[in-house]
Amino acid sequence: MAMEMVATSAVSLRAHRSNSFLSNDIKTTRGLFPPSNLTRRRLVMTLDVKQGDNMVELKSNQSGTQIPIDQKAPTFVENFRVDSPDVKYGENEIETEYKYDTTELVYENRNGSNSKQWYVKPKSVVYNFKTSTRVPKLGVMLVGWGGNNGSTLTAGVIANRESMSWPTKEKMLHANYFGSLTQASTVRVGSYNGEEIYAPFKSLLPMVDPNDVVFGGWDINGMNLADAMDRAKVLDYELQRQLKPIMESMVPLPGIYDPDFIAANQGSRADNVIKGTKKEQLRQIINDIRDFKDKTKVDKVVVLWTGNTERYSKIVDGLNDTSDNLLAALDRNESEISPSTIYAMACILEKIPFINGSPQNTFVPGLIELAIKNNTMIGGDDFKSGQTKMKSVLVDFLVGAGIKPTSIVSYNHLGNNDGMNLSAPQTFRSKEISKSNVVDDMVASNPILYEPGEHPDHVVVIKYVPYVGDSKRAMDEYSSELFMGGKSTIILHNTCEDSLLAAPIILDLVLLAEMSTRIQLKAEGEENFHSFHPIATILSYLSKAPLVPPGTPVVNALSKQRAMLENIMRACIGLAPENNMLLEHK
């Protein structure tokens, strides 16, 4: 099937039931045609995505059995290639020339006018992207591996890899990656015979298969992963029973424990800790990463913090304000260097991507400077999973609709170890800050609604209720002002299965972090290709308080974050941003 700009295998298409074609829905565990059953009459079609005039067209380059008259056109392709003179598929990389269209504003006098005026100027910049298609064997090391998130994610990946199924009182369940942006969402790639065509998000660029990920990590508690899974009480018993023989041999490495940074109630769990000075602890983390990479034979490692929320670190001149001062403070064994900062320092010095999944200020100024100097990826902060994700959608909708939110009150209670740790005021403060700032950019975007300095009242409450376990309850009240003095109140109740929401987000973070390390770019006028900025804004969609480079606007609106991530990946294969104009149908 060697054809110009065509994928190496025929594309499977999702179909609807047709009495003249098959008597039953055509589906497998992935919802696609099973080739073994449809060898004689399957639909075979190879599709190109053709780029031109900001439109995407999918072409059929291979004729197979014709679609019956009453058979609806396909709406899903498993994979595709882009047919464009600006895109070159090589043996080990994809090269793309991409025109980035944006606008800039100027405020000036023109045509002899005595007054200045704002002018919006369209601007185009040509970028070249180069993406390696060599997908590595990936190792993921989790700080807090034995916690609810770490044990749930590890169990979920094993269950998917082994195609596990288990009965519940409602029905038979099968392992899946629901909740994962990369594994369970789709993107529009064009149209075919008047029908919108979608493809898996993961088909945009070559990505690591999560079933191939090798897990390891640290925990201040030495319980093996099977017992940790049982302690978490997240997964169904029948599934745990199948997973236990595989997971009971997985034991976390000793972790860094500093009781000054987390709640005192965590002390009883701390039976697996690294002794010594902070510098000795950093050296041990570096050795652990090297040993893990050597023993597992992985090509790359990504480290992610999913441990306890720490209190905020004090920013002190001469201690953590510059990279040199931070390294010197480590030598002096300064007490204000947090465990999460030590893990991040170790990763940066080893040029290993580090992601912070908790709300504390791990990335003190000196650490950010160290990452930039070493050109090592860092990302965070805090997983955006349940209540905050809803908030970033709803407030964006309200402000975008010209409705003025005036009060946002968010209440949570949960009973897992995260809730227990957050019951301490100093650790709760870290979470309160990350949850409260999520609406700032949306409010700032509309000065028609808000006067300078005006902001909705925003209160966040978190309480520890052991009985509910991992099944976090979130209740929100949104008060808004409407037309001509009217008022609106929206009340939401959200039961967030905390770890089942967080686990696929962790997976997305590490997969996207690895993928972005294989992307290089250069703008017109630049001589050499370079990687993205070490501060990974590409991960913002998954972060409650996105870390951005100095001078970069912070964007929290969920739709904008999703569009940014998708459109950057589209640019890497020469596709225009998805603008939803559909002018061809207007």
Contact criterion met (CB below 8 Å) for 374 and 442: no
Closest C-alpha among 217, 384, 375, 382 to residue 302: 217
Distance of CA 30 to the CA centre of its chain: 23
Residue among 356, 433, 442, 427 at smallest CA distance from 391: 442
Q: Looking at the chain, how many residues does it have? A: 586
Phi, psi dihedral angles at 48 (to 5 degrees): -105, 150
Q: Phi first, then psi: give them for residue 83, nearest 5 degrees.
A: -100, 95
Among 405, 509, 422, smallest CA distance to 465 is for: 422
In angstroms, the CA 340 to CA 306 distance is 10
Weakly modelled stretches of the chain, pLDDT under 50:
1-46, 52-57, 59-70
DSSP-derived secondary structure for 234-282: -S-HHHHHHHHHHHTT--PEEB---TTTS-GGGGGG--SB--S-HHHHH
Residue 472 is a catalytic residue: yes
So what CATH class is 138-383+502-571? alpha beta
Q: Is the peptide bond before 381 cis (omega within 30 degrees of 0)?
A: yes
Q: Long-range contacts of range 497-500, CB-CB < 8 Å, 24 or more positions apart? A: 497/234, 497/470, 497/471, 497/472, 498/148, 498/385, 498/386, 498/414, 498/416, 498/418, 498/470, 498/471, 498/472, 499/148, 499/149, 499/152, 499/232, 499/234, 499/416, 499/470, 500/152, 500/179, 500/234, 500/470
- Angstrom distance (rounded) from CA 559 to CA 123: 24
8-state DSSP, 322: S
Structure tokens, 536: 């990974």
Among residues 293, 391, 431, 435, which one is catalytic? 431
Catalytic entry in 396, 472, 498, 508 = 472
**Is 544 noted as a catalytic residue in this protein?**
yes
Q: Check residue 583 and give its pLDDT.
A: 84
- 3-state class of 459 per DSSP? strand
Q: Long-range pairs for 451-457 at CB < 8 Å and ≥24 separation? A: 456/405, 456/406, 456/407, 456/408, 457/406, 457/407, 457/408, 457/409
Q: How far is CA 141 from CA 58, 337, 370, 480, in A?
A: 40, 21, 21, 44
**Gap between the Cα atoms of 186 and 562, Å rounded:** 12
- For CA atoms 342, 261, 229, 223, the dihedral sign is positive
* SS3 per residue for 135-157: CCCEEEEEECCCCHHHHHHHHHH
According to the model, what pLDDT value does residue 377 have?
98
- Find the helix or strand (DSSP H, E) in which 522 lies: strand 519-523
297 is catalytic: no
Query: What per-residue confidence (pLDDT) applies to 30?
Result: 31
Residue 484: the pLDDT is: 94
Query: Rounded to whole angstroms, what are the CA distances from 50 to 13, 54, 55, 85, 87?
Result: 18, 10, 8, 10, 11
Domain boundaries, the chain: 1-85, 138-383+502-571, 387-500
Type of residue found at 281: Q
The residue type of 515 is M
Q: Residue 491 phi/psi, 5° resolution?
A: -120, 130
Contacts made by residues 16-21, CB under 8 angstroms, sequence distance 24+: 16/71, 16/72, 18/68, 18/70, 18/71, 18/72, 19/70, 20/68, 20/69, 20/70, 20/71, 21/68, 21/71
* Residue 204, Cβ density class (10 Å: 0-12 exposed, 13-18 middle, ≥19 buried): buried
Residue 533 near residue 549, CB atoms below 8 Å: yes
Residue 291 to residue 297: CA distance in whole angstroms: 10
| CA nearest neighbour of 509 among 401, 379, 317 | 379
Q: Which helix (H) or strand (E) holds 419?
A: helix 417-422
User: Residue 50's closest CA among 4, 13, 94?
Assistant: 4
Q: What is the pLDDT of residue 263?
A: 86
Question: Is 404 part of the annotated catalytic residue set?
Answer: no
Q: Are 420 and 311 in contact (CB under 8 A)?
A: no
Tokens matching residue 31: 């919802």
Token pair of 22 as six digits? 């098959």
Comparing CA positions, the residue from 344, 313, 314, 308 lying closest to residue 327 is 344
Distance between CA 434 and CA 410 in Å, rounded? 13
Task: Name the strand (E) or helix (H) holding 198.
Answer: strand 195-200
Catalytic-labelled residue, pool 384, 391, 404, 544: 544
Task: Tell me the HSE value of 222 on the side-chain side, using a 13 A CA sphere.
Answer: 5
**What is the distance of C-alpha 21 from the center of its chain?**
40
Six token digits for residue 149: 């998130």
Show contacts of 313-319: CB within 8 Å, 24+ apart: 313/261, 313/337, 313/338, 313/341, 313/360, 313/361, 313/362, 313/364, 315/361, 315/364, 315/365, 319/366
Contact 471, 423 (CB under 8 A): no
**387-500: which CATH number, 3.30.360.10, 1.20.1250.20, 3.90.1150.10, 1.10.540.10?**
3.30.360.10
Are residues 49 and 58 in contact, defined by beta-carbon separation less than 8 angstroms?
A: yes
Residue pair 337/281 in contact by the 8 Å Cβ criterion? no
